[in-house]
Structure 1
């Protein structure tokens, strides 16, 4: 069965859209049975059961008694996608080195569908532990309240940034979050001028970060690299000079390696 967007967009398969909703429901509840899924999707129990069984037969769900959970097949697919990314392949070692040197959380982030995706994250020896950072690698972030996200937004075309803001909005996470579009664009201009972005308690109160863009030889932004930690550690010259310099250096190393690899492949 297909549907067509009223705005003249492409035709889509309702079955695939429904399958996506089922998977989202399973992820949200960790495990679901047919009755729970029927209530979540507002369908009959028999229809919910058919969806669950179909996804189970295709390896996307695993049955445990009367409930279903996401299968490890997603881990295999995710690793395949991540390993094909030059940003990850050449950024991983820099993230490892940066986390070891700074002893704080270090992130490698890319943009997809208007959100920030954490490709890789390492906790330094003195990085604050907790479920928030553990969960961060499993979810998508809005771009406007993280240093890594703003480093990406600053180097996207303005038209693309406006599309993202229209689709995703500017929700507040703390009292420091920028929630006004013009204020954000002014900050993105400052990011381009200095070459790196700050997050000063905009995602979590008392938590700071510095992020730098990673771009290809044509200047297109591939993602970003960031270091984050408590304000008690990220302050003074460490926050304003040392971290920006170290993060931008690491981002540049990743850029050089990606460019060299691309040119080597072109000459083959």
Structure 2
């Protein structure tokens, strides 16, 4: 696939945004399959505009100060965040658990917002962090409402052949699970992403099944076991209220 210079620059920004630590120019070359000279040319422009900064001692690259302004603008002015934040806070207050808003972006599950529980919870989701996964209620609720042409390659990559189960069988079983989630209207998981954590996730869908995000509630399995039906209902209602807010903006 051929990418324009603008797309190459955006690929570099996306790579830095998803990276857990600063990245070298040579690592970008390997990840993006482009010449080193091309990477440096784009980095110089991105540094000039403050989107990227270079560590003075290591020479590694990381997001620059302009990224902070963009993130702040998203939090303060995004139509989605303005509609979702009050409902996340209300859901967390009603249940006493952590409530998050997540979306699917270029093969990753991204946490857009998170209202944390007053109780300690070991959860992998962190605001602004992307995860490459098909596991967990949030991922399944999103995958269930994405186009099949987009989902199938992800499943094939994530569910390779094993000695006891061929890859195509695993993909078919997972696809059937996604169909059940579509029919039911929510996804539930336990111990899939974090041991001891239960989760439920309901999609925010606009007309013509346009997927915007998913609302997720996460809690320790022991506490959740006493409230499963209630919390599933509360999460679905929160997703629907966000949908209504978006429709009437």
TM-score, length basis structure 1: 0.72
**CA shift at 1:229, angstroms?**
1.6
SS in 2 for 1:119: strand
1:253 and 2:241 equivalent?
Answer: yes
SS in 2 for 1:232: helix
State the partner residue of 2:158: 169
Q: Which runs of 5 or more residues in structure 2 are unaligned? A: 161-168
State the partner residue of 1:106: 99
CA distance in 1: counterparts of 2:178 and 2:35, whole angstroms:
49
State the partner residue of 2:139: 149
CA distance in 1: counterparts of 2:21 and 2:113, whole angstroms:
23
1:125 and 2:115 equivalent?
Answer: no
CA RMSD of aligned residues (A): 3.5
1:182 and 2:172 equivalent?
Answer: yes
- 2:219 is aligned, of 202, 214, 229, to 229
Aligned length: 237
Distance 1:200 1:97, change over 3 A: same
Distance 1:126 1:77, change over 3 A: same
State the partner residue of 1:160: 150
CA distance in 2: counterparts of 1:248 and 1:22, whole angstroms:
34
CA distance in 2: counterparts of 1:41 and 1:247, whole angstroms:
42
**CA shift at 1:126, angstroms?**
1.1
Q: Which runs of 5 or more residues in structure 1 are unaligned? A: 6-10, 172-178, 262-268
State the partner residue of 2:195: 205
CA distance in 2: counterparts of 1:23 and 1:256, whole angstroms:
31
SS in 1 for 2:150: helix
Question: Who wins on radius of gyration, i.e. which is larger?
Answer: 1
SS in 2 for 1:218: helix
Distance 1:39 1:187, change over 3 A: closer
